[in-house]
Structure 1
Amino acid sequence: MSIRFSRLAPLAAILSFGLAAFSAQADTQYPLSLDTKFGTTVIPAQPQRVASVDYAGGDNLLALGFQPLTVRAWFGEYDNTYWPWAQPLVTAEPQVLSGELNFEQIAATEPDVIIAIRSGITDQEYDQLSKIAPVVAVPPGEGDYSLTWDERARLVGRVLNKSDEVETRIAQVRAKLDAAASEHPEWQGQTFAMGTYWNNSVGIYSADDTSVALISAMGLTVSPEVEAMTEPGQFYITLSEEELPRIDADLLFWYTSPESRAQIEKLPLRPQLRAHQEGREIFLPDTSERNGALSYGTLLSLSRAVDLLVPLIEVAIDGDPNTLVPEAE
């Protein structure tokens, strides 16, 4: 799982399977066969009752008109793990899965299908879940958390016969990302990196991380040093404190908890970073909606993420250390 103080757990290239699997269809034909990293899953008929074991998995189901039977606890102090952007769509209380998967809890909801494309489930968990209902896992060759936000949405849409709705919502999100880029031409060529401090080490999110891809879509450029460190399928890179200068960039995002924020501020080499000297750092506390909206990366959250992040980037990227980046929402 990715380590993020938005997510102390979760979170690529589209392979040939992915291109076929995620293409829009007017209607899904059932029975539907899907190749996954664990084998072939067959969904006999259009699902009506849908469970999710994904991190942030409830959002896309709500966006498509389904009330999730189960949702996975992740982060954020909100009822049933739903953040503000999703709460207006909730009409039925889900079972909340905390810690290790509780198979009896999931089985009791009597799902027609179980979505597990951002879950990190093991072979054994897949087998156990498959005894309850067909399980939709990541395609062969994909990492547990490597599917992009739109790939996840398209796969869920295909399974639920909602591909048209998915394409409409994807287009809306892309339009917002494109607008942010077009309205800020000065961001072109400006580099950024996304880091944190976890498990006594500096961490950097790779060029393949889903949140990094979202920032790139707004017109900024992933740091060449981060690009060089990224290996296929890797989304989190651990660095020693001495390597901190490698992630210096025009803009530096920090995912934080209160504990990690304190550790970041004590890093001996941080004062040497140009991003720090010029006030180009943006902190994303794990209690903040801007952190949640970006980390969730869903059809419901991403528009909110753009609204919250654009003003912060505008202030941070001006290069004036006297211009303070707001800490509150």
Structure 2
Amino acid sequence: MSLSVRRRPLTAALLASTTCLGLLTACGFSSETGTDTGSKASAGGGSFPVALTNAWGRTEVKEKPVRVATVSDGDTAIALALGLVPVITPDVEDGDPVAEYKQRAIAKLGEKKLKTYDDTDGTDYEAIAAEEPDVILGVNTWDMDTDYAKLSPIAPVVTFADKKQSDTLTWQERLKTAAKALGLTEKADAVIAANEKTLKDAAAAHPEFKGKTYTYSVVHPEQITYMSYADQDPGVFEQLGLVKHPRSKDYSANKNGVSLENLDELESDVLLMTYPFGDEGLLSASELETNKLFRSLNVVKNKHFAVVPSENTLASAIAYPDALSAPWVVENLTPILAKAVAGK
């Protein structure tokens, strides 16, 4: 599957850690979103104007936006989660089918497909300008350093308060930032609460998950990557009750390769693998799963091993959770985990 930069390449996605950024210290400034606390905006009531300080300057949204443009797949997910159909979005599918959870949201909003621009060569500023957006969402992009100067004359740009936040904000923080500018803070809170309830309900329905150690690994072209390292933020696996294996302390974002001679490092109560690169990976699924050392692992012999599919975007949705994908991830991941825990 071909993924553009704006969709976040799967290689990077599956190596990245989405973490909360520490508090910024500035007088009269909300560190989470970069919103001026002295603004006339009311977060709950959605009153305007709303002033937002960002890494490149200051954005003022004078009236409640109606026409919203997006510059990344993550920003499109935010708009859809908040009940808005973007007037234009980047074409991140590159000919592939639209992710199921995204298509569901589009259909729920009464549309069949979104209007897109070709982002092969970057953000198409002219295409965005032609749609006359009231606001441009860019809270989930790596390209704002290049884009901001060309987007800001078109419409107010909603983005992060610090350049580091392109990698570090949680999906909840990105959603809240966008919602503040759109006058939809209460809607964002409802979306977050609904997602939390989905996870809690799934965990409650599967008490057998609680306390089981897990290892999650990705077969990249250059290595087998130990993704569930100790400093990796708790994700959906742990929200469903699993815990990292004690061995995870031996791995980090910068030390995460597992050699074929040390496949026993993958041992745990539950082993989850994904193969997003197919034949271009270090080795194929059949090559790994017929490897003698791999087959000798207790977790494999006892059938507590499962593959997280990448073809349906589940692996990438786990790597980069957002408000739109979270319920779908739980829906699709839970039965995989149930079978692995049960040894089926």
TM tier relative to shorter chain: 0.7 to 0.9
Look up the SS of the partner of 2:272 in the other structure.
strand
- Counterpart residue number, 2:53: 35
CA distance in 1, matches of 2:245, 2:65: 43
Instruction: Describe how 1:203-282 pairs up with structure 2 within 5 A.
Output: 203-205=225-227, 213-226=235-248, 229-230=251-252, 238-242=256-260, 244-257=263-276, 258-259=278-279, 260=281, 262-267=283-288, 270-282=294-306
Q: How many residues are matched?
A: 315
Q: Tell me the amino acid that sits aligned with residue 66 of structure 1.
A: L
Deviation at 1:146, TM superposition (A): 2.9
Match of 1:93 in 2: 114
Q: Distance in 2 between matches of 1:144 and 1:287?
A: 26
Q: What residue number does 2:10 align with?
A: 4
2:39 alignment counterpart? none
> Structure 1 residues 308, 98: closer, same or farther in 2, change over 3 A?
same
- The answer to whether 1:311 aligns with 2:335 is yes
Shift of 1:248: 3.6
The aligned counterpart of 2:33 is 21
Amino acid at match of 1:51: A
Contact 1:22–1:154 (Cα < 8 Å) also in 2: no
Name which of 217, 222, 228 aligns with 1:200: 222
Residue pair 1:80, 1:96 contacting (<8 A) in 2 also:
no
CA contact (8 A) 1:30 1:43 kept: yes
Name the amino acid aligned to 1:191. Answer: T
SS of residue paired to 2:78 = helix
State which of 146, 153, 160 in structure 1 corresponds to 2:175.
153
How far residue 283 of structure 1 moved from its aligned partner, in angstroms, is 2.0
User: Could you tell me whether the CA contact under 8 Å between 2:99 and 2:313 is conserved in 1?
Assistant: no
Tell me, yes or no, if the aligned pair for 1:4 and 1:196 is still in contact at 8 Å. no
How do 1:284-295 and structure 2 match up within 5 A?
284-288=308-312, 290-291=314-315, 294=318
For each residue in 1:157-196, what CA deviation from the matched residue of structure 2 results, as whole angstroms up to 9, or x when unmatched? 1121111111112211111101122222232221223322
Q: Among residues 29, 41, 48, which one is paired with 2:66 in the alignment? A: 48
CA apart distance, 1:247: 4.3
Change beyond 3 A, Cα 1:4–1:224:
farther
Distance 1:241 1:102, change over 3 A: farther
Name the SS of the counterpart of 1:16 in structure 2. coil
Deviates more, 1:17-26 or 1:146-155: 17-26
Q: Which amino acid aligns with 2:174?
A: R
Gaps of 5+ in 2: 25-29, 36-41
Between 1:58-67 and 1:154-163, the stretch displaced more is 58-67
The structure with the larger Rg is: 2
User: Contact 2:102–2:324 at 8 Å: present in 1 too?
Assistant: no
Identity %: 23
Alpha carbons of structure 1 residues 261 and 239: separation in structure 2 relative to 1, 3 Å: closer
CA distance in 2, matches of 1:79, 1:176: 23
1:60 corresponds, among 78, 84, 108, to 78
* Alpha-carbon distance in structure 1 between the residues aligned to 2:300 and 2:34: 41
- Unaligned 5+ segments in structure 1 are 324-329
SS at match of 1:158: helix
Task: Please list the CA deviations of residues 131-151 of structure 1 after superposition, one character each: whole Å capped at 9, or x if unmatched.
Answer: 322222233274423322322
- Which is worse superposed, 164-173 or 11-20? 11-20
Q: 1:316 to 1:127 in 2, by over 3 A?
A: same
Helix, strand or coil at the partner of 2:103:
coil
Q: CA deviation at 1:240?
A: 4.9
How big is the alpha-carbon RMSD for the aligned residues of Structure 1 and Structure 2?
A: 3.5
2:213 to 191, 196, 199: 191
For the Cα contact (< 8 Å) 1:70–1:97, is it kept in 2? no
Aligned-pair CA distance for 1:293: 5.3
* 2:324 corresponds to: 300
Secondary structure of the 1:83 match is: helix
